[in-house]
Chain A
Amino acid sequence: MRARSVTLAGYTLAESLVSIFAFVFILGSVFLLFSISYRGFVLSQTRQDIQNEVLRARQWLEQDFSLTHLGSIGILPRQTSSYGESVSRDAVCALSVSDWSDDGNFFSTGLPRWNRYVIYYATQESSGRLIRQVIDPQGMDPPLIIRPYPKLYSVQPIESLDPTEIVSSRQLASDVVEFNCRLDLREQSLWQILKVRKRGGRATQGLKQTDQVIEATFRWDPLNTAPRL
């Protein structure tokens, strides 16, 4: 009589180990890929945030400084320390009008009837904020004469302006490292450097923490400078 043969379905130890290693390898790769992608995503998100802030700030800066009179631009140079280095955190002002679409804000000659000042400044803390304020100066009846806002130089710090003069205040950007302004009288233009730096998490490769930095340089030609200086 022949013995009955039985086939046992199973894995050898070697097969199991290989399978487990393969599985761990694949899973690890997937996690690594995910981790890298996630870090990249976080970085790009951070970068977008900064770019959005800079773009938003740029819109306001362009609107205010392209439409002003060169003679009304005043710059208060200020320095502070950020990330271990000395940086500019200037304050800058210019004349404006309350509503550009209002005919009442213009003289018969076509020149603007200036009735507001706008002030931009970056706060002095290590990670600064870019602030835009619209000022309705007390005791100065419109039309305002063409000169920088006098209190830009007399009120120290500029953050402590009389709140009754401030029509509106808006934060345009955070994590500002540098806000540098320079008047180029030869070209009759205003140059501004806005540098923003955000904690961006770890880099896609390695464990090193990286910051996202954007430095934008703007040039504005004040179009309502008439007559040309």
Chain B
Amino acid sequence: MKSRPFIDIRSFPQRGIALITVLLVMTLCSMLLGAFLVSHRGFIVAFRGGQDRDLISSLTKSLNEYCRFKLEEDRTWGSSFSSVKVSVVGNLTIRELVTDGPVSYLEGRCNSSGASFSVGLTNNLQSDAAGFDNIPPRACQLRIVVKKGGVQGGAVTLLQRAAFFDSSAVASEQIRVDSNYISLESRDPIRNQIRSLGSMELGRLKNRSNRDRYRFRPNEETLNSSRGTVWAQGAINLRDGSGASDSLEEAANTTGAQWIDQASTHYDIPQLTLHDLDVAEDRRPLSIDPGTYMFTRSPLLVRMQGSSEWITLNTPIPMLEHWEGDYKASNIEEVHFLEADLRQAMRNQGLDPLFRADVAHLEQPGTPVRSRYFVEDNFPLQEGMRINLQEKRIVIDADRQATVQGDFRVGTDQWDLVPELNFASVTDWSKRGTLSATGDLTIQGRVKGVGNLLAGKNLTIAPNSVDQDASDDSNIALFAGNDVTIRPPSSAWIPSEHVQFRGLVYAEKNFHFQAGWAAERRQTLSIEGALVARSGSINISDANETRLIYNPEFLEDLLRRWYDERSQVELISWRPL
């Protein structure tokens, strides 16, 4: 006899009970799971949403960086895609779509996360005018849309060409400005700043006349929220000679600018060499003998033909002396004067002006000098370089690139003469004359016109008169492999008040400006462009006003080649979608 099991699953009722039991257990489990999920739903949704948002945020930044990189490679990228091009960058598959309209598009997908994206690209980097949809000049707008699951995000970003030098004044070491007024101005739409990798000594907020010392004037046409920035990696001291000082907080409240001291941000000042500066290739070379070109008035000695006696002409003759080496008599190389002046001096002495005579310099009585006398003033010393004795002016033609192998100096030994170096390009700013010397370059007088003064070593401008009206017809850029020194006259009788440069003023080491007549402080130093002391300091003393005007356009004149080659693009604004 077979024994019966306790539960015989083959019997119908018991199988039913088993099924119901299983279902009950499953239902219970489902309810437990459901309750768990319901209670955690909020968190799961929030967590997953947070993950998606993180992903979208990261992807948006990556796409912005990708486009920035592409634009740095080629500033015209995205202006117009002529064919579909697919590229894989890391986890991203990016497809450039054929452009149909002012906006170009990228589409793609993140292979690891499954997120999809599109980028609308309006490239206006190469234009100096506002573009489609009011995109600012030299800017590119990106509209980045990223989708992941049901979440969508992204940003509208604006990228812009970065400036080569981004400040009106920048120095590796101290910036010291001793001036009644300090104006920081800018023609750039977003920047108005000075930077020092060292410290700054700038004077108190009120000057000696109890007036506001600081004037921040950003570009009024493109107002923004920043009046300006004074930035230093060292201390910024706003103090006077007595040691009394103002705080940077007071300065910020008074001026509306940002005053940032002890800054720890990395900042580089780009280095330039003489060869980096842009000189148009169509300029004809002009080789100038090194030495000193001295405007003076001096008696000459003449020896009438057939006579052995040297006669000193008592009437001083305006002349240009050319010295080589040190300023001593034996180094006189040439003298240049007008024939009419010589004849008049001979006539004054009772000599026959038409009689042929040898000429000697007073300093070298027994030796006839190489002398060249010209019938008319404004005579060519050599092709591309003219001399105007009446105006005490050396004129270098605008289409010339003048080079000097050694030192070059223009000066005078007469207190009432004001020599002038002139780049004859006043009417056409696109034509910049260039005078470069491999050694020191010294101009003891005015510099006018539109041109570049480039010195392999030191560059000194010490005018015994300065630009009276600071008119807009001068545009001079300075470069020195060592120091740039500007030393205006200190004579009280000089009526002028302005020393002005437009363009880049670059000193590989230090920049010095020592205004004259410290007691009255009447002179204004104005530099429109950028003032750079790459590895040294900026020292401005005893000026009435120091105007540092940042104008990137003037920099481009000199650095066009750099702008073409070095196409940095920077983020200007970021708007969430």
Query: Could you list which residues of chain A lie within 8 angstroms of chain B, going by C-beta atoms?
Result: 41, 44-45, 48, 51-52, 55-56, 58-59, 62-63, 66-67, 69, 71, 95, 100-101, 106-114, 143-147, 150, 185-186, 188, 223-224, 226-229
Contact = CB atoms under 8 A, between A and B. Distances in A.
The CB with the most chain A CB atoms within 10 A, among B229, B263, B265, is that of B265
Interface in B405-456: none
B258 A110 contact: no
A48 B225 contact: no
A108 B130 contact: yes
Interface in B533-577: 570-576
Contacts of A55: 46-47, 50
A187 to B, nearest CB: 8
Interface string B325-363: 000000000000000000000000000000000000000
Contacts of B141: 110
Nearest to B134: A108
A108 B576 contact: no
Nearest to B226: A146
Contacts of B191: 227
B263 A111 contact: no
Interface stretch (B16-24, B36-44, B506-514): B36-44
Interface in B222-261: 222-227, 229, 231, 252-253, 256, 258, 260
A226 B573 contact: yes
B224 A229 contact: no
A221 to B, nearest CB: 9
B222 A147 contact: no
A51 B47 contact: yes
Contact of A51 (B43, B130, B139, B570): B43
Contacts of A62: 57
Contacts of B226: 71, 145-146
Contacts of A58: 50
The CB with the most chain A CB atoms within 10 A, among B141, B191, B193, B224, is that of B224
A62 B56 CA distance: 13
Nearest to B263: A185
Contact of A100 (B229, B258, B576): B576
Contact of B573 (A45, A66, A185, A224): A224
Contact of A186 (B50, B260, B266): B266
What are the 5 A-B residue pairs with the smallest beta carbon separation, nearest first?
A: A223-B574, A110-B158, A186-B264, A48-B43, A110-B573
13 contacts: A62-B57, A66-B574, A71-B260, A109-B222, A111-B190, A111-B573, A146-B225, A146-B226, A147-B252, A188-B265, A226-B573, A227-B193, A228-B265
Contacts of A228: 265, 570
Contacts of B225: 69, 95, 111-114, 143-146
A145 B570 contact: no
Nearest to A97: B575
Contact of A147 (B136, B258, B571, B573): B258
A171 B266 CA distance: 38
Contacts of B399: none
Contact of A67 (B40, B136, B223, B574): B574
A227 B46 contact: no
B380 interface: no
A226 B226 CA distance: 10
Given A51-B47, A186-B265, A224 B136 contact: no
B483 interface: no
A53 to B, nearest CB: 10
Contacts of A109: 136, 189-190, 222, 224, 572
A107 B224 contact: yes
Given A108-B134, A145-B256, A226 B40 contact: no
A48 B42 contact: yes
B166 interface: yes
Nearest to B167: A227
Contacts of B227: 145
Given A51-B43, A109-B189, A112-B573, A229 B223 contact: no
B190 A106 contact: no
Interface in B292-346: none
